[in-house]
Amino acid sequence: MAYINPRITKLGATLENHTDSSITRVDLLNDLAWELWTTDPERAMEMSLEAAQLAEELSYDRGIMYAKVNVEMKEWRTSITGSVAIFLEALSWFEENDEPVGAANVLNFLAIIYWAIGDLQRGLDYSLKSLKLHQSFENPEGKGWTYQTLSGFHYDLKQYDQAKDYAEKSLELFRSTDNLLGEARALNGIGNALLYLDECENSLAFHHKSLNIARKMEHDFTISRVLNDIGLVHQKRKDFKGALPFHEESLRLRDELDYPTGQTTSLLDLANALVQTGEVERGIASIEKSLELAIEINAKPKQARGHMALAMIYESQGDYEKALDHFKDHFELEQTIFSEDAERKIKNMQVVFERETAQKEAEIFRLKNVELKEKNDQLNSMLEELKATQAQLLQAGKMVALGNLVAGIAHEINTPIGTIKSGADVASRVAEKLLDSLEPEQKRRAVDKELHKTLPLLQNTTKNSIQAVDRIMKIVIGLKNFARLEEAEFQLADIREVLVYSLLL
C-alpha cells in the first residue's frame, strides 16, 4: 500500500474547498508546494506558479514572496547568482514584515547556495543564523532541516563527529513531528558519517533503517541514494560481491528517474565493485557508459574520475599506452576543473558580493530616510510647539495691552464719574433739605406749591443719576477684574462677586 502523507492529504482537501481567487487559496497553494517540493517537484512548481499569479492579481505581497521562494527552490541550480538575488530580496521582505518562518527558511537556502559555490564559511554563517531564528519561535521541522544542512557542511569539511551530532539532532526533531522523509535523510546522514568513523556495522544499520522508511514512502530518489551508500559501506568492508546488488538497484532506479548525475555516480561505484570481483570487462563498460553521460551533462569531475579508473585498470593489465592516455585525460580535466572551479567561485562570489553590497547600500539608504523622517517629524513637532508658544505670547501680549487699555479707560472714566456722582449726591441732599425746611403754611402758597412739586422731581433725577453712575462704576470694576489688573497670581476670591460681574459684562 502506497504511503500517504497526512499533511499533504489535509492540505489538498482544504485546497479543493477553496476554489475562489482568494488570499486563503494563495496561502494553501504555497503551503502545499512547500510540502511537495522534495517528493513531487513538478506539482510543487505548478502550484507555486499559480500562487504567484493569483497573489499578483490580489496585490498580496506575502503570497508573492512565499511563491517566489518556492519557485526558486527548484530553479536555483541553473542560476545561482539569480537565486541569491531573489533569496536576498525575500529575506529582506520577511525581516521587514515580521515573517520569521520565511526568513529562517530563506537563510537555510542561502547556506546551501554558498555551500554549492564553495564558500563554506559564509554558508555556515547563514545556516547558524537560520538555526537561531528557528529556535526563537520553536519550529522543530525547520530546525531539523537546518541541522541537516549543518551536518552536510561538517561532512564536507571531514569533521565527521560533528556531522553525526547534527544528523542525530535532526533525527530527533523529525521523529517528534512524524516527518518520515526528514527521518530517512537524517538516518542516511548518520550512516555516512559512521562510515568514515570506521563504524561500518553501525553505518549499515542506520542506512537500512533509512531505506525502510524511504521504501515505505515510495520515495525513489531517496531509495536510490541510500542503496548506493549501502553499496559503498560493503566496499569499505571489502565485501565487493555484497555491494553489487545495491549499486545495480540504485542504478536501475536512477535510470527510471532519468537522473544523469546520480546515474554516473552509480555507474562508477558499480564499476569499482565489478573490477574488484574480477568482472573487469563489465567494469570497463560501466565506466565508459558513465563517461558518455558525464560528457553529455558536462560533469567534468565525473569524467576525471572515470578516466582515472580506466587508467588504473589498464595499468594493472600492462596496457601502459591506454593507461597513459587516460592519465593524461584525467590530469587535463583536473586542471580544467581547478581553473573553471576557481573562476566560477570567484565570479559567483563577486556577483554575490555585488548583490549583497547593493542590498546593504539600499538598507543604509532606507535607514537614512527613516532617520531623516524622524528628524523631520521632530522639527515639525517643534515648529507646532513654537507656533503654539507664539500664539500664547501673542495672546498674553494682547491681554497686557487690553489690561493697559482698560486701566487707562477706567482711570479716565472714574474721575468724571466721581465728579458727576458727587454733584448728583450734593444736589439730592440740597433738594431734601429744602423740602424739609418749608413750613406747612408756605406749602399752601402757590409759589411754595410749585417749589414743593419741583424739588421731589430734582431729587428723583439725582437719585437716578447716582444709580447710573454706580452701574458705570461696577462695569469699570468688572473690566478691571476681567483683565486681572493689579492682582496676584494666586489669591482668595469671592466666587459670587466674580459671577455677578461676569453676568454684568
- Give the Å distances, CA to CA, from 482 to 221, 399, 501: 94, 10, 9
Mean pLDDT in runs of 10 for the chain (505 residues)?
Answer: 70 88 92 82 89 93 91 69 78 90 90 75 88 86 91 90 95 92 94 94 96 91 94 95 96 91 93 95 95 87 92 93 92 81 62 62 67 76 80 74 71 73 73 67 56 70 77 76 60 82 71
Q: Can you give the pLDDT at residue 199?
A: 94
- Give the Å distances, CA to CA, from 206 to 164, 215, 232, 286, 297: 12, 14, 14, 28, 32
Amino acid at site 504: L
Q: Can you give the pLDDT at residue 5?
A: 72
Q: Can you give the pLDDT at residue 500?
A: 80
Are the beta carbons of 271 and 291 closer than 8 angstroms? Answer: no
> Which residue has 596496457 as its cell numbers?
319
pTM of the model: 0.62
Q: Spell out the residues 6+ positions from residue 108 whose beta carbon is closer than 8 angstroms to its own.
A: 126, 127, 130, 142, 145, 146, 149
* Three-state helix/strand/coil letters over 210-233: HHHHHHHHCCHHHHHHHHHHHHHH
